[in-house]
Chains A and B, each alone.
Chain A
Amino acid sequence: MTGWPMRLARILTVASVILLVAPLVLLIVFAFTDRGLANFPFEGPSLRWWRALLEEPGLGRAVRTSLTVSLTASVLAGVVGTLAAIGLARLSARKAGIVIAVLALPIVLPPLLQAVALLAGASASGFGLGLHTVIGAHLLFTVPFVIIVVHGRLSGIDPAIEEAARDLGAGPVRVFRTVTMPLIGPSVVGAMLIAFALSIDDYVLTSFTIGGGNTLTTFVWGMMRTSASPVVNAIGTILIVVTMTAAALGLRMTRYRG
């Protein structure tokens, strides 16, 4: 592609990146200005909202809840997803493809539908709502993600590598420990980081399944409805940094190397 089509493509790319990134940048900028809400021109820089953040009642608990939910969900998703991926790798490519397509449903279904289904399920089974239902709901979209990433890595490994380890005297467990795990390890950790980012960002499923209490996202939603305080920008900034860091690290680790 040369000439004006190339130029047009470039302009479109830059425009979409700006469109995606600009609101996030503004949010971060406002978190560090005096008036704090979307007012132009900017007032002087200030850490006012960060001090207010420390005094925000209920925020500390929401952070703890979020960390509990997301750490538990990502670690569980890592373990369950990895085991499932290993089982899946034993199937033929065609069968594995079908299973993955079914498992990926939660990723493509509207979260609202899933939330309603989960609510119905929780009340029918008499579990009651609470952190366990939130964690369960998060597993619904993090586990398939881990499965897809780890299965992708596994199917890229030459079967002769594990066979060679067997041939040299290692039993199946030892082969897993000394060969399979080191090879898929970075992908597993990376998938867990991305799962963490997905989980800590979730609002819809969380708000439907939590019953009482708050995670960071439901806390922010509550603040927006009641006070519209600029503290929200500071919380948003933290969420952006945490999510982007986890996702960036995760994406790096899951990229196939060597």
Chain B
Amino acid sequence: MALLILDKLQKTYGQTAAVHPTDLSVDAGDFLAVLGPSGCGKTTLLRMIGGFVAPTAVRIHVGGQDVTGLPPERRPTNMVFQGYGLFPHMSVRQNIAYGPKVAGWPAAQIASAVDDMLALGQLEKFADRPVTDLSGGQRQRVALVRALILKPQVLLLDEPLGALDAALRASLQDELRQIHRQIGGTFVFVTHDQQEAMAMANRVAVMNDGRIAQVDSPQTIYGQPADPFVATFIGEAALLPVTVRQGRVRLPGGREAVVSGADGPRAVVLRPGDVAPAPAESPADLTVNVTDSVFQGGYNRLSLRTADGLLLRADVAVGVPLPAPGESIGIVLPARPLHTVKLPS
């Protein structure tokens, strides 16, 4: 049974809809990323769950309880805010102890829980420092364990790593994943960074313009995107227009390939790993012009252009002979069924 259920969650500001009617359910133990471009309504969605934005129409259930009308302080959720919202007049320890103190835990229990959290966030050395003296990464960890100490049924995180530089972000991603594994909670986090969503979450909800376009595992989102938006927002993809007849398409090179999706005009989703130069003497699926070739460390990335002007990318292993820019070459697509989406409008 789902732990968190959003039933036709919706928010409009005046005439404009920030979040269109949205259904979403999150299972206990899930690490769900809500991923979408800036302004698509992620924060609004998260704040409705936390109780900071009153929804226009809905039900929100957490653990079987309807929390729709409850103020934030009475919801079984806790939030890590964008910008953290640490109490600047308190030390690290006092920040972390705030929730238990309000809840009226006995002093000894508060002290031991705070120590546990200081250890979880590797903050023991900073326990008695004012939070204003901490670095960005340390503040982030204070905000995280301050929210975790109450053992929320759902932990909400709004762009938790958004303010940090790339290197720190990568190490905190690992830490956050570890903490999730360690305590086994249910996390819902919002991000505009697809790499971050893929790296941390076991489920990803892709949002576009106030709507959830697809909720799936990162692998499914990448391999079988539901629509052209998801296909191009998550990783690199070229959309090759085709006409599907009885589950098959005829590729320009003449091969009949099996595809997913309904009959009619569709687009095949081609990832850089799907496209390879045709081996010598074997028939090509497509003829393209090489426009660029860039060494990427572990592989070479080719930029290719079809006769119709479609741009493709192909990742080619180091050691395979490379065509030169300006050359015309044949390429092959995978033998497995190709994934299609409807044509972009």
Contacts and interface: CB of A to CB of B under 8 A. Distances in A.
Interface of A: 158-171, 174, 178-179, 182-183, 258
Contacts of A179: 87, 89
A167 B50 contact: yes
Q: Which 6 A-B pairs have the closest CB atoms?
A: A160-B85, A164-B85, A168-B99, A160-B81, A169-B102, A166-B72
Contact of B79 (A164, A178, A258): A164
A167 B78 contact: yes
Contacts of A166: 51-52, 71-73
Contacts of A171: 71, 73
A168 B102 CA distance: 8
B85 A158 contact: yes
A168 B88 contact: no
B144 to A, nearest CB: 12
Q: Contact size class for B?
A: 20 to 34
Contacts of A182: 89
B189 interface: no
Given A163-B52, A163-B72, A258-B132, A169 B85 contact: no
B73 A161 contact: no
Contact of A165 (B52, B77, B82, B87): B87
Interface string B45-74: 000001110000000000000000001110
Given A161-B87, A183-B88, A258-B88, 14 more contacts: A160-B82, A160-B85, A161-B86, A163-B81, A164-B87, A164-B143, A166-B72, A167-B72, A167-B73, A167-B147, A168-B102, A170-B98, A174-B102, A179-B89
20 contacts: A160-B82, A162-B85, A163-B52, A163-B85, A164-B79, A164-B84, A164-B85, A164-B86, A164-B87, A165-B98, A166-B51, A166-B71, A167-B51, A168-B78, A168-B98, A169-B99, A169-B102, A170-B98, A258-B88, A258-B132
A183 B72 CA distance: 21
B280 interface: no
Contacts of B72: 163, 166-167
Contacts of A178: 98
B135 to A, nearest CB: 15
A179 B73 CA distance: 15
A164 B102 contact: no
